[in-house]
Structure 1
Amino acid sequence: MRFVLALVTFVVAAALIALGVAERTVLRPADHVTLSASAPKDVRYVVVPGSVLTAHPGVQRVHLAGGSTAFAAYGRTSDVTAWLSGQRYAVARVAADGTPLPAVVRTAPVVAGLTGGHPDPNGSDLWLDQARASRSLDWSVNVPDSVSLLVAADGTAPAPAAQVRWSMRVSTPWATPMIVTGSVLALLGLLLYIWALVHLRRRRGPRRKPPQRMPKPPAPPKYRPTRQPAVVASKGRRSVRNFSVLLAGGAASAVLLTGCQGAVAAAPAPTTTVDPASVVAPVAVTEEQGTRIVARAAAVEQRADASLSKSTLSERFGGAALDLRAAAYSIHKGDKKQALPQQIPTAFSMRLILPEATRAWPRTLFAVVSDPADAKAAPLALTLEQQTPRDPYRVEYAQELLKPAGSASDLPKLPSAVLGAARLKPDTQLLSVPPGQLAADYGLLLQQSDAPVGKAFDTAADPLLKAAGQAAKAAVKKGLGSTAKVAFSDGTTDPASVVALVTADSGALVSVQLQETWKVTPTKSDVKVKPSGATRILAGTGSTTKGISSTYGYQLLFSVPPAGSKERIELLGYAQGLISAKEL
């Protein structure tokens, strides 16, 4: 019986140890889930939607392989779809339980203003982040379900094969107890086996007989009348039997719990459905995106200033800002003493950033930057626009603020960068003066200081009125004498160039461009007009009997109060300079 107990103990010990080891090896649930997505050879883009990226909890590890270039980026799902306008792309899918499904090929809806071709997604301002490498790419991201992943090569080559892997938290709580318990039982079984052998030897006794005489019948072994063997044997049988039942139940529970654990780990994260109509328009860019966009514009401007190249500048500049700086390049080529407009510092300090809250295009970004290395330089107010999903943000206005501090306290109270601001139409009646009318009214004020429209403006501390207002124009007329005359006129303002962002007090920050033309003509036939400085360089002539037409560009930033307010329109900053000149 003692051998039976030892054998049973060994068997139970071996079973427990085997179960413990198996739970950590063959019975251990997978510690990761992998999704593979590939596109046909004629498809150049793969999209992993946010619902797929969040099908399993944890960090998403992206692996791309195949081809000479591997590119991945993530952005808002609506932005990714807009960027893919008209393009065929493969969409990764999963079932409701997170099981991977074959990818399907779709065509993105066409966005107005975008043409065909196969664009390269590298460097787009829409991406929240991106990664690019040769041949293969490993990238870890952790994004919400409102964000999708775009995979491509360079737009011309087929998209590389993509894998998304999620690490799963796997626990084996019963493995260690079973292995430890099995080891203890194995030791106990060994002791029981030794005890059984000792007991067997004592029962047999000595077998050798004395050679001199006949041996006496062997006396039975004398055992002390103690209860220890009986008690131990009886208690051992009950203990082993009960303990075996307990361990069998524990092992079964461990197997069931292990299976349940794997099922729970593989369950997909719950999703909720939100009515799009109830969601407020998101900001066009995040603060991190906005800072990166301004840095890219500053880098392009630096390269363009070094080469005096308008084509290089046009990569990140447009509108009034491009006109003024491109003209300055031409002037500087003719006269190195002519300075360029203030440059965006490459190592700038971001004082303020305000993106537009919208899902449509064009999109607007307003920012205030300063140069920490030059305390005397005025902060720059930048207004940038993105015309289509594939266009970069371009600087449309770059005005020097009048107040040197350049902090948020120098501007009207603005919405937070997280909420963003709405953009008003040029003809809105929500302001004291419609944004589209500001340039014309201010242009009239520059020519007539007592014009009726001047009542709407705060002219007490306006430096531009002093530099280019009625008094300055009178001085120009006086300097020409009786041999020549000058006429001033303002050009019409393109409504599309007017940018008005709502402030927190229901007013608006408004950027407009004013073009003022000076026509200088001789009053006598034998008199020649001799332009000088920048006008001579752009006109390409040193004298003329026909006259000279010079156009000055003004980039104006106003704070406009809401309709019905008693406050006045305030000029916050400006940039001005000659943008063209020609012989009449």
Structure 2
Amino acid sequence: MRFVLAIISFVLAAVMIGAGIAQRTIFAEPDQAVLSTSVSTDSAVTVVDGTALNAYAGNQSLTISGADTIFAAYGRTTDVVAWVGDATHNEIGFDPESMELTDTLVRGTDSEVPDPTGSDLWLNEYSSQQQLALRVSVPSDFSFVVVSDGIEPAAGTVSVAWPLDNATPFSGPLIVGGALALLLGLAFLLWAITHMRKLRGPRRKPLKMPKLPRKPRYKLPRRSIAKPAVGRRAIGRGMVAAPVMLIGALVLSGCTSGPFSAGVATSRPTPSASATTGGAEAAVADPPAITVSQAERIIADVSKVVAAADKAKDPALLATRFAGAALEIRTANYAITTADPTLAALPVIPAGPVKLTLPQRTDTWPRTVFAVIQDDTDDTVPSIALFLEQDDARDPYKVKYAVTLEPSQKIPDVAQADVGADRLLPDNPVLRLTPTEIALAYADILDKDVNSEAYLDFDPQGDSLRTAVGPAYKASVRAALPTTASVTFGSGIGEAEAISLGTNDAGALIAVNLNETTTVAPIEEGAAVNTSGQVKALSGLAVSSKGVVATYGDQLLFYVPPAGSGGKIVLLGYTQGLVKAGEIQ
């Protein structure tokens, strides 16, 4: 019996160890799924669609080759398509029936594209020579754009690989269990050999006993044959072993997925849901224009460009990232500080951190983003609010308004950056006042203060601009002039378009451009007007017998409550500077 147990243990050990090793060798699944295709045309652009990147679940390993210089970037599919525009391009997709990548030529009117490097649409970009290999995790609604130099063919071969779960969790336990069974078999074998040796020794041959006479046979009377037993009594003890063995076999077979054990890895993967269902997830009608990471990268580049432009006083360089009222006032400041370096320059644009990002909720152009920046390393640099706009898919975001925030004011609650806000129309009736009405009403307050009809519509708390250029300031200017000259003040809507983004309470953040004019003219024959400071630097005039007109540009940021709420309009911040100066014509 001991030898039998040893043999059973050895057989069991061989089966378990063999099954464990087999799972890691001959029955092992591949560790990745790979799909590739060769681009058959000489198109300057190749788009790798998100469906191809998500043909299988997991991170994607993208390999692109076939061009001397390879540039690849990814962004939302709608943004990639918009950037490609009317250019002829190859589109790499996925066919769930054949389980292969597809290569489709989409013809357009353009055969070339501009340099995509540094585009604000991309979440990330890569470049390499001859071959580009990268590992990413791109959602199904994002795509890659691949370009060489915008003229030469973009790529020759595109390959995508996904990692597969080929782990064998039961392989180790099987091998360990087999080793234990082997040790147990050896123990049984040693036990059997030791026992057999103990039984060995001198034995005498037993004496033969005399044979006894045979007993006489008697015939028993014939009896009726008994009926077979029925029910549980009919089952003998010898019949118990078979069902027990059968149950054990069924239990073991139910725990296995292969010919040897339950540790065999899962079968080959199936395409992910995004590739086969064609977008079963609910689509967002209007996604936010950009992500937080994009906003941070854009503002960091804006800060870098502005710093270089400020140092060189280069309006052309500044225009690559500034436009509208923000460009006008900073360009004028370059001229002023060039003529008189002792005059103050405008505040710098810090690179970050970005404390607030509010993108417009849209998938079309133009696009708007509101951001608040605070330089934590320098307390002397005030918080700055930016309104940036992107006019076209291939254009960069440009700062339209750069407003210094009032220290005592607080930005109202706005939507999360991954949700975004709607841009409101200029004549939106849900607000207490339209942007044009706000600019003109506030100009009237700067001129008349408490005597203005709009005075009660605005909150005076924390509004330092009223003190800086309000009626008291204007009265001091008049008092300082000689009796031979007069001064008049005026105001009007600036050329920059107002921008409005909604807040959580149905109100809005509104930036408007207001121009204030100061005209000083002689009132006596032979009298002249002397200029000084910024007006002298910008106009180039020291004395004028005709008079001088100075135009100051105001970038104003307001919070406007919804109509009927009873709340007041709050000035959140402003930037003011001289934008024009010259002689009266």
Band of TM-score, shorter chain: 0.7 to 0.9
Cα distance in 2 for residues equivalent to 1:41 and 1:107: 11
Query: Partner residue of 1:194?
Result: none
Cα distance in 2 for residues equivalent to 1:100 and 1:144: 19
Deviation sequence 1:59-114 (CA, Å, 0-9, x none)? 10112223332222211111111111112221112221572233001157x9xxxx
Query: Partner residue of 1:320?
Result: 325
Retained in 2: the 8 A contact 1:39–1:45?
no
Retained in 1: the 8 A contact 2:518–2:550?
yes
Structure 1 residue 466: Cα displacement: 1.7
Query: Partner residue of 1:204?
Result: none
Cα distance in 2 for residues equivalent to 1:567 and 1:174: 68
Query: Is residue 2:382 matched to residue 1:378?
Result: yes
Greater mean deviation of Cα atoms: 422-431 or 60-69: 60-69
Secondary structure of the corresponding residue to residue 367 of structure 1: strand
Retained in 1: the 8 A contact 2:37–2:101?
no
TM-score calculated relative to the size of structure 1: 0.78
Residues 536 and 253 of structure 1: is their aligned pair in 2 closer, same or farther, counting only changes over 3 Å?
closer
Structure 1 residue 280: Cα displacement: 4.3
Matches within 5 A, 1:326-405: 326-346=331-351, 348-403=352-407
TM-score calculated relative to the size of structure 2: 0.78
Cα distance in 2 for residues equivalent to 1:548 and 1:513: 22
Q: Which amino acid aligns with 1:62?
A: L
Structure 1 residue 272: Cα displacement: 4.4
Residues 34 and 394 of structure 1: is their aligned pair in 2 closer, same or farther, counting only changes over 3 Å?
same
Matches within 5 A, 1:126-141: 126-141=121-136
Residues 485 and 272 of structure 1: is their aligned pair in 2 closer, same or farther, counting only changes over 3 Å?
farther
Retained in 2: the 8 A contact 1:485–1:520?
yes
Q: 296, 300, 303: which is aligned to 1:291?
A: 296
Query: Partner residue of 1:306?
Result: 311
Structure 1 residue 23: Cα displacement: 6.3
Query: Is residue 2:144 matched to residue 1:149?
Result: yes
Residues 75 and 267 of structure 1: is their aligned pair in 2 closer, same or farther, counting only changes over 3 Å?
closer
Query: Partner residue of 1:234?
Result: none
Retained in 2: the 8 A contact 1:39–1:159?
no
How many residue pairs match? The answer is: 520
Deviation sequence 1:416-467 (CA, Å, 0-9, x none)? 2222111111111111101232222222222222221223112354221121
Query: Is residue 2:47 matched to residue 1:47?
Result: yes
Structure 1 residue 343: Cα displacement: 0.8
Secondary structure of the corresponding residue to residue 454 of structure 2: helix
Query: Partner residue of 2:488?
Result: 487
Structure 1 residue 540: Cα displacement: 2.0
Query: Is residue 2:69 matched to residue 1:65?
Result: no
Structure 1 residue 117: Cα displacement: 5.0
Matches within 5 A, 1:174-323: 254=258, 263-269=267-273, 271-272=276-277, 279-323=284-328
Retained in 2: the 8 A contact 1:97–1:268?
no
Residues 88 and 504 of structure 1: is their aligned pair in 2 closer, same or farther, counting only changes over 3 Å?
same
Query: Partner residue of 1:477?
Result: 478
Retained in 2: the 8 A contact 1:97–1:267?
no
Cα distance in 1 for residues equivalent to 2:18 and 2:121: 55
Cα distance in 2 for residues equivalent to 1:368 and 1:299: 17
Structure 1 residue 403: Cα displacement: 1.7
Query: Partner residue of 2:510?
Result: 510
Cα distance in 2 for residues equivalent to 1:117 and 1:67: 16
Query: Partner residue of 2:92?
Result: 92
Residues 442 and 28 of structure 1: is their aligned pair in 2 closer, same or farther, counting only changes over 3 Å?
same
Query: Partner residue of 1:465?
Result: 466
Structure 1 residue 342: Cα displacement: 0.9
Query: Partner residue of 1:167?
Result: 163
Q: Which amino acid aligns with 2:144?
A: L
Structure 1 residue 377: Cα displacement: 2.9
Greater mean deviation of Cα atoms: 312-321 or 164-173: 164-173
**Structure 1: gaps (5+ residues):** 1-9, 189-222, 225-241
Query: Partner residue of 1:237?
Result: none
Residues 23 and 97 of structure 1: is their aligned pair in 2 closer, same or farther, counting only changes over 3 Å?
farther
Query: Partner residue of 2:200?
Result: none
Query: Partner residue of 2:545?
Result: 545
Q: Which amino acid aligns with 1:300?
A: V
Retained in 2: the 8 A contact 1:421–1:503?
yes
Deviation sequence 1:161-214 (CA, Å, 0-9, x none)? 3321112222467878699989x99xx9xxxxxxxxxxxxxxxxxxxxxxxxxx
Retained in 2: the 8 A contact 1:98–1:266?
no
Consecutive aligned runs of 4 or more in structure 1 exceeding 4 Å deviation: 12-28, 171-182, 255-258, 260-263, 270-278
Residues 154 and 37 of structure 1: is their aligned pair in 2 closer, same or farther, counting only changes over 3 Å?
farther
Residues 529 and 85 of structure 1: is their aligned pair in 2 closer, same or farther, counting only changes over 3 Å?
same
Query: Partner residue of 1:563?
Result: 563
Q: Which amino acid aligns with 2:304?
A: A
Matches within 5 A, 1:566-581: 566-581=566-581
Q: Which amino acid aligns with 1:548?
A: V
Cα distance in 2 for residues equivalent to 1:565 and 1:50: 45
**Structure 2: gaps (5+ residues):** 1-9, 186-204, 207-245
Retained in 1: the 8 A contact 2:20–2:171?
yes
Cα distance in 2 for residues equivalent to 1:276 and 1:84: 26
